[in-house]
Amino acid sequence: MKLMNRMITQNDTNWNATQIKYMHIWANPADIRSDEEIAQSLRVGRKTLYRWRHLDGFMAECYKILNNNILSRMNKIMGAQATKAERGDTPAARLVSELLGKLNQIQNQMNIDKALIMPVKFIVERIDNGANTKNPITS
């Protein structure tokens, strides 16, 4: 694919096919080629890649594509981690919880539970020990 023979300005909003291909390469986390290798595959110079990355809006488009790539893979990632979690894999369960934004809610609930349970536990221990237990809240 050859680069179109026109000067690309800072105000370009219509990307050419080679630029769009580069955006997709850049936004693919699995593509670990160097700029030199990418430039060669696109039949442009390395300086051209640099210039494109500095065009207004170019990197914003790259990040949009990156976000779409990541979001499209989330279903598979979540499904695999949920399966592991169901089999008792604690790190997988934690990851699923974090990804779902639930871990903080669970931790907050645990802190509330501890705050409610601790005084009750203290009272029960005092009764069981004949009131000789120190108050963990005031000591």
Topology of the domain comprising 17-86:
Arc Repressor Mutant, subunit A (1.10.10)
Q: Describe the crossing of helices 90-99 and 58-86 by its angle, rounded to 10 degrees.
A: 140
The pLDDT confidence band at residue 124, using thresholds 50, 70 and 90, is low
Q: What is the pTM of this model?
A: 0.51
Q: Single out the residue of 58, 102, 95 nearest to residue 80, CA to CA.
A: 95
Q: How many helices and strands, by DSSP H and E, does the chain display?
A: 6, 0
Residue ranges per domain, the chain?
A: 17-86, 101-139
Q: pLDDT value at position 12? A: 47
Q: pLDDT value at position 112? A: 59
